[in-house]
Structure 1
Amino acid sequence: MQATQIAQGKIPVIGKHYYGEAYGIDPELLSDEERLRHIVIRAAELANMHLVEVNSWRFKGGDKEGVSVIALVLESHIAVHTWPAYGYATVDVYTCGERSDPLTAFRYITAQLRPKRYTINYS
């Protein structure tokens, strides 16, 4: 990118980023590492992303207990972090390119989590 493009405010859109927080989720679902992995994998498929690798971790320790699932996709990433003690999760989907649809992935994940409410941000 040239400095003149930046100075003139003509910065091309390089990626699409949807992220948010979900509240009032069943703690049992938020503790189910395998189910969360499947949700993230399916979200990538539905959003036309090319999955490179998925890793997940289960953390134990009272109110800090939870699951993190991170999918590396050719276009960028999907991340879900959960806190079952609070019925709370964060969802982060970023993609580059024109063919993938991060909003579809975000909506699928939040629909599967069935929160009482959620926020969505775009940048």
Structure 2
Amino acid sequence: MLHVMLDLYGCNPELLADEIFLWQVLDEYPDLIGMQKVSPIELRYIVTSNPLDAGYSGFVIIATSHVSLHVWPAYKMVNMDIFSCEHFDQESVVRFATMKFQSEDVEVHVVERATRSPRLATRRIESISMPPGVYLSPDPSRKR
């Protein structure tokens, strides 16, 4: 199990405020790491008592775990987690995030998890149950 945590600084704040762009980033990550998306993307705009802390948080569940992000346009900062029971190319996820968010600086934290787990890796999911009315594509008409 591999957990890559990215802290990206000096990102393009216009991209961090673009809901469709952030949705696309979450949509592209599972394919990038060779994983299977099993949920619709969840992306929410969060407002707090400090206006500088406003920003999007989102995730997508993959068959082997999840990809999540939290963005703060005012701070030009993104935090991402890419976690999977399957190994994936760490360097490609760092390059992709740095390029997509136009980051000037990135901290990378890698944790090998469950090193004593007896669980065998699952290659492909055979079926996914989705609730009625749930879709795996964005609704550009949706307003926050």
Q: Same fold (TM over 0.5)?
A: yes
Deviation at 1:25, TM superposition (A): 0.9
Structure with more of its chain in helix, by fraction: 1
Structure 2 residues not aligned, in runs of 5+: 112-144
| Percent identity of equivalent pairs | 24
Counterpart residue number, 1:79 = 68
**SS of match in other structure, 2:97:** helix
Deviation at 1:105, TM superposition (A): 3.3
Deviation at 1:107, TM superposition (A): 3.2
C-alpha distance after superposition, 1:24-81 (max 9, x if no partner): 1111111112111101211211111100111100123511110112010001010110
In the TM superposition, 1:1-123 aligns within 5 A as 15-53=1-39, 54-61=41-48, 62-98=51-87, 101=88, 103=90, 104-123=92-111
Indicate how the Cα distance of structure 1 residues 72 and 108 shifts in structure 2: closer, same or farther if over 3 A, else same. Answer: same
Structure 1 residues not aligned, in runs of 5+: 1-14
Q: Does the 8 Å CA contact 1:94/1:102 hold for their aligned counterparts?
A: no
Deviation at 1:102, TM superposition (A): 5.6
Distance 1:32 1:57 in 2: 12
- Give 1:86's aligned amino acid: Y
The total of aligned residue pairs comes to 107
- Give 2:5's aligned amino acid: Y
**SS of match in other structure, 1:56:** strand
Q: Does the 8 Å CA contact 1:91/1:106 hold for their aligned counterparts?
A: no
Indicate how the Cα distance of structure 1 residues 43 and 106 shifts in structure 2: closer, same or farther if over 3 A, else same. Answer: farther
- Give 2:101's aligned amino acid: L
